[in-house]
């Protein structure tokens, strides 16, 4: 008799990882490349999507604690938007996890798109700890938040393949040293790509659009 | 025989509430009034403390995921600063809870102060769900974050006795409608006090200082 022994290693594959891999398999079958898009509240995530999604075969999964403000903003674009509210608990979840994303899969028109952007809940801590089945992670940091953020939230700055430094139109009005920020960023995450952008003035939007346009079919992180 | 029946109601008093009350009792015995100070990453919490603590019989408990940047900044003030790092887990805790604050009690010179400010981890979700034994909660929202934040993170804006609208020096350079913000704030939290401030220019610092100076001995929330 053929016997296979599967050793259960408690911390090797937790439930979130298992579900994230299942999501990834489904995305792969549908030929959809997935970006997990993260950043602090008010860093400009939705604005950065508004500026670049038109013209891409993209869809958006919006994670929000409450309300549909971000999903409403994106509704004017010609891309499908599915909203995932996390407010089931007392104050809402502070991040999306693989199971929440899985619950949205039936609502996502995967056959119509080749790129799915998952806009995570505004938070610099927990979203970095939960894979959702993505191929790449992008995080946004605004110059208004200060140049110390990579040192204060190193896991988030480490857990991404691209950093968007947003609101550079505010540089003349805030105390923000771009060279120091970049040095700190590369201390916690050597070599990570960083684009300086402004969703307001449009600066850097072409580079950000190109980065997304080049993504379909690419896999920047392993499942 | 005297018998007392204590019914255990599972969700009536969870462990965090129990410990928060114990903290509160200890603070009361020491005659220390406690503020839980919350806000998103980069909203300006540390800067707002730097501007007003000198001259108060105050101490600070700094909660940070990693590093000691904020504690170092406050070290130049003439107030005791105790740092609480939350990075024990994988990516660090996204909030302070009552037990973490309790672990810092022996390091706090409670007999020397009458006001303790607990600077929470930068996050607009979870800190609002965990009482730590405080008498009042203050949250900071920066105009750079956008005027939609009260609707997107209602629990945080509801779970405070004072809102500081910071970085008003940036108002000429950002799309931020103060009237709309205030209306939304009062929709989720009718009547809450809101001070418009700028840690950079000093605007509103006198009012913020006065608010803190009036606090010792007051109890704005029940344990």
ipTM of the complex: 0.84
Position A114 scores a pLDDT of 96
**What value does the mean pLDDT of chain B take?**
90
How far, in Å, CA of A184 to CA of A167, rounded?
A: 19
Within 8 A of B84 by CB-CB distance, chain A residues are: none
Average pLDDT over residues B16-28: 94
Record the tokens describing residue B108, joined without a space.
């706090």
Nearest to A152 among B65, B149, B175 (CB): B65
For position A87, what pLDDT does the model report?
A: 67
Chain A contact set for B174 (CB, 8 A): 170
Name the DSSP class of A4.
-
A154 touches chain B (CB under 8 A): yes
pLDDT band at residue A1, thresholds of 50, 70 and 90? very low
Identify the pLDDT of residue A2: 59
Is pLDDT above 70 for A6? no
Q: Which residue in chain B is spatially nearest to A167 when comparing CA positions?
A: B144
Among B33-47, B70-84, B97-111, the range with the most confident prediction by mean pLDDT is: B33-47
B128 touches chain A (CB under 8 A): yes
Helices (H), A64-170: 69-74, 98-104, 149-152, 154-158
Distance from CA of B201 to the nearest CA of A (A): 11
pLDDT attached to residue B12: 45
Mapped onto helix, strand or coil, the DSSP state of residue B52 is: helix
Confidence category of residue B141, pLDDT binned at 50, 70, 90 = very high
pLDDT of A41 above 50: yes
- Residue whose tokens read 């003035």: A201
Q: Please give the model's pTM, rounded to 2 decimal places.
A: 0.89
């Amino acid at each position: 008799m053929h016997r296979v022994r599967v050793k259960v290693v408690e911390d090797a594959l937790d439930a979130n990882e298992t579900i994230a891999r299942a999501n990834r398999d489904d995305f792969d079958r549908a030929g959809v490349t997935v970006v997990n898009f993260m950043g602090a509240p008010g860093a400009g995530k939705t604005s950065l999507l508004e500026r670049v999604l038109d013209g891409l075969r993209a869809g958006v999964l919006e994670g929000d604690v409450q309300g549909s403000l971000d999903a409403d903003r994106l509704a004017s674009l010609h891309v499908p938007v599915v909203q995932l509210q996390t407010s089931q608990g007392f104050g809402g979840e502070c991040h999306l996890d693989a199971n929440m994303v899985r619950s949205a899969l039936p609502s996502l028109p995967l056959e119509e798109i080749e790129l799915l952007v998952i806009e995570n809940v505004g938070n610099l801590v927990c979203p970095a700890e939960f894979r959702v089945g993505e191929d790449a992670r992008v995080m946004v940091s605004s110059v208004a938040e200060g140049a110390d953020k990579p040192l204060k939230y190193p896991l988030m700055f480490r857990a991404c393949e691209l950093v968007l430094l947003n609101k550079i139109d505010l540089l003349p009005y805030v105390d923000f040293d771009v060279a120091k920020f970049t040095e700190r960023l590369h201390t916690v995450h050597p070599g990570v790509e960083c684009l300086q952008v402004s969703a307001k003035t449009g600066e850097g939007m072409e580079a950000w659009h190109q980065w997304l346009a080049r993504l379909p079919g690419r896999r920047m992180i392993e499942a």
